[in-house]
Structure 1
């Protein structure tokens, strides 16, 4: 059995009066992530981890921010398309472990809903998706609530 590990990272600027979507969940907050798609930093990091593990480049290669078809698209769709690419290449996901770094809003109450959205999009068990959150202790651009960061790792295996 062939196992591969992938790592993903994403960062988005926070701006006033933008929707704030993380893990497919709409969060109530006066600032939201700015980007070409819905700017879901968590799902983008997961997509990059999956694509990297399968040696399929990165999210920007497959879903270019200059392509109008991806403007304001739900990142859940990007995750579903990423999973289809992996399945087409006979890869199966064992698990995903992700970390969010932001000052506000508090993420812990939303983690079960995020896990449910991600599990559905990836067609894997909710038990195989770990999401954690921390702050940056009010330091740097994260501490000033100017941006949000997500990291993700995944383990995939090749089906025979």
Structure 2
């Protein structure tokens, strides 16, 4: 009979522990729900902040929108009755003298006679020899020669 009394006492203690643990489960469930809610709010704030940073970076470092085309000049003080004069194109302007040619007279000259090989002096179609037209204008060509040399240091 003592054993039954001990078992009943142990059973009562276990039931009391179950009640306490069930209360703890409810407490921890509510704490978890609060944490999830706080996490959701914090995540939404973080996403909003990231979007603002992205927008500010785009405004600061993105393409500049202040560059206007030459046609869209809102601060141009032209007379509305007169048509605007067309803008000059780039490069050589009509009616203006061409720039002077460069002077290479200070460079040393070397005369070179170029003769064609014999097979190039005949017509490719009929094989007859080619006849000069009497227009042998000398031409001028400027070349750059590079001279390589080696320097030896004697010690």
Structure number with the higher helix fraction is 2
TM-score greater than 0.5 by the shorter chain: no
Q: Structure 2-normalised TM-score?
A: 0.17
Query: TM-score w.r.t. structure 1 length?
Result: 0.16
Answer 1 or 2: which has greater strand percent: 1
